[in-house]
Amino acid sequence: MYHGGWWSLIRADESKGKAKIDRKLLSRISTYGRPYWGYILIVLIAIVLISLIELIPPLIFRRLIDIVIPQKDFQQLTFLALAMIAIPITSGLIGIVERYFSAKAGEGIIFDLRQEMYVHLQNMSIRFFTHTRSGEIVSRFNNDVVGAQNAITGTIPSIVTNLVTLTSTLLVMITIDSRLTLLSIAVLPLFLLPTRRVARILRDIRRKAMEFNADLSSLISETLGINGALLVKTFGRQRQESEKFREINQNVRDIGVRRALVGRWFFMGLGISGAIGTALIYWAGGYLVMTDVLTIGTIVAFAAYLTRLYGPISSLTNVQVDFATSMVSFERVFEYLDMPIEIQDKPEAFELSVVTGEVRFENVSFSYGNGDGNLQNEDDAELSALPSDESAPTILPDLTQRWALKELSFEIKPGELVALVGHSGAGKTTITYLLPRLYDPTSGVISLDGRDIRDVTQYSLVNQIGIVTQETYLFHDTVRANLLYAKPEAEQDEVISACQAANIHDFIQDLPKGYDTVVGERGYRLSGGEKQRMAIARVILKNPRVLILDEATSHLDSRNEALIQAALEPLMEGRTSLVIAHRLSTILAADKILVLDRGQLVEQGSHKSLLDEAGLYADLYETQFKGEKLEVS
């Protein structure tokens, strides 16, 4: 059962940026590079070759100034000139090879990382999605994975390049003149001293920037999606939402300005440090030339190498900052990857093939584990989908814990139609969540054909169950694609038959492109009744053994409801059907009625027997169904 493990990861105090770059983190990142070691080896060889080739031009300058020009050696002058052209061409071609394999390795690593995170989140329980903003998830895939990608394809190759360049340049400089080399590296403390502090500051700024961007993504997805836009407009909250967006947008702007300013001060300090080192070399080198200790060509070559020395040093200090901040991206991605999967298949899970549809609940209790007390249960599904910004929930003792279901036991025989009735919050929807294992019960056993559903694979379980909810979700795709989601291999004749059974085929035929018409975001180009019939057609196409209908005809007018009810009757024939019923016609057709109150089964039986008991069902009948009966009659 849930103990808040993944929640604590979600709510980790990210703003403090306390996570450290340790050997464990680096080792974990390196595991993603192992499949691409061949590409990485080619990249390293190319970097070394480029660094060695680019050491040659200063030596050419020295020879030109000290030997070729004084001796007026035109043949050697031509050769050196051609060499100066050949060097950048060769270096550039090798650079193209290096960039190609670097991109292949980097993009491959990020592909694996992104794919692993997507698959992992696909396996997370519904609890994760009801407590996590969709914009936050999108931000992890976009901002954080891209940040990790920049580290792999940019920062790490830059580190290797600069290290090789720095090492090779120092070796050459030492062979030219060790005294000037020591003087050149004397200014290194000026580069290194501010780096650690700046790295820490920029790391914290980067983490806050990511959080602000996640807030921005969440607000955009919530208020500019079709559902959010409708809510904002119908309540006239455009001004308030714009102000909220302005506040978050200002945070993004201000943290960006701060990051730019800190970076600029840092680079100014590096530039001054480099200028001091260069001035020292020219001063000391000029003195040595004037005292005939060194030649002018040597000083020119040495000055050229200074650029190759201070450039990599500056880059390495900056790369350290970039590397530290880019690790934040990996940390945030790993936070999601490390979230435990609450509902998993057992190693020896059984694969369901054909079932008869016998369903049994035995002493089933369930709590959503929402210790803040705001939600007694999730019978109203839209409540469970609301984002939560509360601190990590805790599981309270049984005395105070709110139960959605408490010691619930009932049996549904194969082919029976069972209606669930009760007041809002009674636990009806919770039952429909537990049967397909969207959640696992806190205690008790749910079985299908005598097998505990926790002992079978989730994939084979949901293949036996068809669900139609009140709130139908359609992808922004064609009618055909939305229908085939239930059975991708279905032939067109099967699709048409399912749509005819759901009384939607004629409507689809009249659409501009028929079955190839795009239904729009969440299917908003269709009416509520049309979407509901699409959902029913999708389940008919799936042809499951167990049906779960959450008031499947609630959005239909009386004519279409009658047609759909007629279509559902043969569909339910021989199948186990569990229906959350608010309509008298559904209740009268049921083989058994389960009456729920505050998560407990208080009555069960037929319509007539329950009326005779004069209990809760009789009260519900008087207040909710009797008028419908009179209207029907």
Residue range 454-490, pLDDT digits in tens: 999 988 998 899 888 877 778 888 889 889 988 889 8
* CB atoms closer than 10 angstroms to residue 64: 20
Decide if pLDDT at 398 tops 50: no
Q: Which residue has the higher pLDDT, 388 or 564?
A: 564
Which residues fall within 8 angstroms of residue 316, CB to CB, at 6 or more apart?
159, 162, 163, 166
Lowest-confidence segment of 272-281, 333-342, 541-550, 581-590 by average pLDDT: 272-281
With CA atoms as reference, report the closest residue to 350 among 459, 251, 216: 459
- Select from 1.20.1560.10, 2.60.120.260, 1.10.1520.10, 3.90.600.10 the CATH code of 5-337: 1.20.1560.10
Average pLDDT over residues 174-191: 77
Residues of the chain with CATH 1.20.1560.10: 5-337
Average pLDDT over residues 155-170: 84
Lowest-confidence segment of 10-19, 268-277, 409-418, 579-588 by average pLDDT: 10-19
**Percentage above 70 pLDDT, the chain:** 81
Q: Which amino acid would we find at residue 508?
A: I
Q: Which residue has the higher pLDDT, 231 or 283?
A: 283
DSSP conformation letters of 462-513: HTTEEEE-SS----SSBHHHHHHTS-TT--HHHHHHHHHHTT-HHHHHTSTT
Average pLDDT over residues 133-149: 77
d(CA 411, CA 216): 48
Output the pLDDT for position 12: 38
With CA atoms as reference, report the closest residue to 58 among 335, 302, 406, 237: 302
Average pLDDT over residues 300-326: 74
N- to C-terminal Cα distance for the chain? 49
Burial code of 402-422, b = ≥16 C-beta within 10 A, e = fewer? bbbbbebebebeebbbbbbbb
Highest mean pLDDT out of 25-34, 289-298, 393-402, 446-455? 446-455
β-strand 443-448 against 417-422: which pairing, if any?
unpaired
Superfamily name with CATH number, domain 467-577: P-loop containing nucleotide triphosphate hydrolases (3.40.50.300)
Helix/strand/coil for 546: strand
Predicted confidence band at 366 (pLDDT cuts at 50, 70, 90)? very high
Output the pLDDT for position 378: 40
pLDDT digits (tens, 9 = 90+) for 480-530: 988 998 888 989 999 998 888 888 888 888 888 888 988 876 666 787 778
Q: What is the DSSP letter of 395?
A: P
Backbone angles phi, psi at 179, to 5 degrees: -65, -50
Predicted confidence band at 408 (pLDDT cuts at 50, 70, 90)? very high
Distance from chain centroid for Cα 156: 24
**Percentage above 90 pLDDT, the chain:** 14
Evaluate whether 422 touches 620 at the Cβ level (below 8 Å). Answer: yes
d(CA 249, CA 156): 31
Which H, E and C letters describe 169-189, residue by residue? HHHHHHHHCHHHHHHHHCCHH
Q: What tokens were used for 305?
A: 């190498």
pLDDT digits (tens, 9 = 90+) for 271-294: 777 677 777 777 877 777 787 777
Predicted confidence band at 373 (pLDDT cuts at 50, 70, 90)? very low
Decide if pLDDT at 382 tops 80: no
Q: What tokens were used for 146?
A: 């891209």
Decide if pLDDT at 150 tops 80: no
Output the pLDDT for position 552: 54
Which H, E and C letters describe 400-445, residue by residue? CCCCCEEEEEEEECCCCEEEEEECCCCCHHHHHHHCCCCCCCCEEE
Output the pLDDT for position 630: 39
d(CA 232, CA 238): 6
Decide if pLDDT at 452 tops 50: yes
Predicted confidence band at 401 (pLDDT cuts at 50, 70, 90)? low
Decide if pLDDT at 374 tops 80: no
d(CA 484, CA 495): 8
Predicted confidence band at 431 (pLDDT cuts at 50, 70, 90)? very high
For the chain, give the mean pLDDT.
78
Residues of the chain with CATH 3.40.50.300: 467-577
Q: Which amino acid would we find at residue 154?
A: G
d(CA 10, CA 6): 6
Predicted confidence band at 8 (pLDDT cuts at 50, 70, 90)? very low
Average pLDDT over residues 311-324: 70
With CA atoms as reference, report the closest residue to 579 among 422, 352, 442, 356: 422
d(CA 144, CA 147): 5
Backbone angles phi, psi at 512, to 5 degrees: -50, -40
Q: What tokens were used for 480?
A: 């055909």
Decide if pLDDT at 360 tops 90: yes
Average pLDDT over residues 281-309: 79
Decide if pLDDT at 400 tops 60: no
d(CA 585, CA 419): 11
Length of the chain counted residue by residue: 633
Per 3-state DSSP, the chain is made up of helix, strand and coil in percentages (nearest 5) of 65, 10, 25
Output the pLDDT for position 260: 80
d(CA 30, CA 40): 11
Highest mean pLDDT out of 156-170, 192-206, 227-241, 317-331? 156-170
